[in-house]
A and B are shown apart, each in its own frame.
Chain A
Amino acid sequence: MTARVSFITANQAPVSARHLFAGGDPGPLVSSWAQVPEMLDVTLPFVGMIMGASSVSVRHKELVILRTSALMQCRFCINAHTEVAVDVGLNELEIRALRGELAVGDVFAMPSEIALLRWIDAVATGRGAVADDIATAFAGHFQDHEVVEVTMLIGATLMLNRYASALQLPNSAESIDRLQQAGYETALTNQGAIA
Chain B
Amino acid sequence: MNAVLDAMENGTISRRVWFYANYHCNLECSYCLTESSPRAPRRQLDHSLMKSLTRQAADLGFTEVGVTGGETFLDLALPATLAEMSESVPVIVLTNGTLFAGDRLERLAPMLGRQISMQISLDSANPDLNDMARGPENFAKVVESIPRLINAGHRVRIASTGQAPDEESQEALCTLHRSLGISDDDHVVRPIVRRGRGATFDGSVPAGPDELFPELTITADGAFWSPFAPTVSNDHVDTDLLVSRTVEPLSVPAQRLVALAQGRPVGSDVANNIR
Q: Which residues of B contact A15 (CB under 8 A)?
A: 209, 225, 240-243, 260
Question: A14's contact among B242, B246, B252, by CB below 8 Å, is which?
Answer: B242
Interface size on B, residues (CB 8 A): 14
| Segment at the interface with B among A30-38, A81-89, A126-134, A141-149 | A30-38
Cβ of B238 within 8 Å of any chain A Cβ, yes or no, is: yes
Minimum distance in angstroms from A23 CB to a CB of chain B: 18
Q: Which residues of A contact B240 (CB under 8 A)?
A: 11-15
Contacting B at CB under 8 A, from A1-60, are 8, 11-16, 34-39
In whole angstroms, what is the CA distance A14 to B239 when docked?
6
Identify 10 residue pairs between A and B in the complex whose beta-carbon atoms are under 8 Å apart, listed by A's number: A11-B240, A12-B238, A14-B240, A14-B243, A15-B241, A15-B243, A16-B243, A35-B239, A38-B246, A38-B252
Q: Which residues of B contact A37 (CB under 8 A)?
A: 242-245, 256
| Contact A36 B245, beta carbon cutoff 8 Å | yes
Q: Which residues of A contact B225 (CB under 8 A)?
A: 15
Minimum distance in angstroms from A20 CB to a CB of chain B: 13
On whether A38 and B239 interact (CB within 8 A), knowing A15-B209, A15-B260, A16-B256, the answer reads no
Q: Which residues of A contact B209 (CB under 8 A)?
A: 15
Q: Which residues of A contact B252 (CB under 8 A)?
A: 38
Contacting A at CB under 8 A, from B123-159, are none
On whether A38 and B244 interact (CB within 8 A), knowing A15-B260, A16-B256, A16-B260, the answer reads yes
On whether A8 and B239 interact (CB within 8 A), knowing A15-B209, A16-B260, A38-B256, the answer reads yes
Minimum distance in angstroms from A7 CB to a CB of chain B: 11
Number of A-B contacts (CB under 8 A): 38
Minimum distance in angstroms from B267 CB to a CB of chain A: 19
| Contact A14 B256, beta carbon cutoff 8 Å | no
| Range class of the A interface residue count | 10 to 19
Q: Which residues of A contact B260 (CB under 8 A)?
A: 15-16
The 8 closest A-B pairs by CB, nearest first: A38-B244, A14-B242, A12-B239, A36-B245, A12-B240, A15-B209, A15-B260, A14-B239
Task: List 12 extra interface pairs beyond A36-B244, A39-B245, CB under 8 A.
Answer: A12-B239, A12-B240, A14-B239, A14-B240, A14-B243, A16-B243, A35-B239, A37-B242, A37-B243, A37-B244, A38-B244, A38-B245
In whole angstroms, what is the CA distance A15 to B238 when docked?
12
Minimum distance in angstroms from A63 CB to a CB of chain B: 36
Minimum distance in angstroms from A179 CB to a CB of chain B: 32
Minimum distance in angstroms from B183 CB to a CB of chain A: 37
Contacting A at CB under 8 A, from B229-271, are 238-246, 252, 256, 260
In whole angstroms, what is the CA distance A15 to B241 when docked?
6
In whole angstroms, what is the CA distance A16 to B252 when docked?
14
In whole angstroms, what is the CA distance A125 to B252 when docked?
37
Q: Which residues of B contact A36 (CB under 8 A)?
A: 244-245
Q: Which residues of A contact B256 (CB under 8 A)?
A: 16, 37-38
Q: Which residues of B contact A39 (CB under 8 A)?
A: 245
Minimum distance in angstroms from A13 CB to a CB of chain B: 6
Minimum distance in angstroms from A19 CB to a CB of chain B: 12
Residue ID in chain A nearest B244 by CB atoms:
A38
Residue ID in chain B nearest A8 by CB atoms:
B239
Q: Which residues of B contact A12 (CB under 8 A)?
A: 238-240
In whole angstroms, what is the CA distance A35 to B252 when docked?
17
Minimum distance in angstroms from A56 CB to a CB of chain B: 32
In whole angstroms, what is the CA distance A108 to B246 when docked?
47
Residue ID in chain B nearest A34 by CB atoms:
B239
Minimum distance in angstroms from B210 CB to a CB of chain A: 10
In whole angstroms, what is the CA distance A153 to B244 when docked?
28
Residue ID in chain B nearest A38 by CB atoms:
B244
Taken residue by residue from 14 to 36, chain B's Cβ proximity to chain A (1 for < 8 Å, 0 otherwise) reads as: 00000000000000000000000
Q: Which residues of A contact B238 (CB under 8 A)?
A: 12
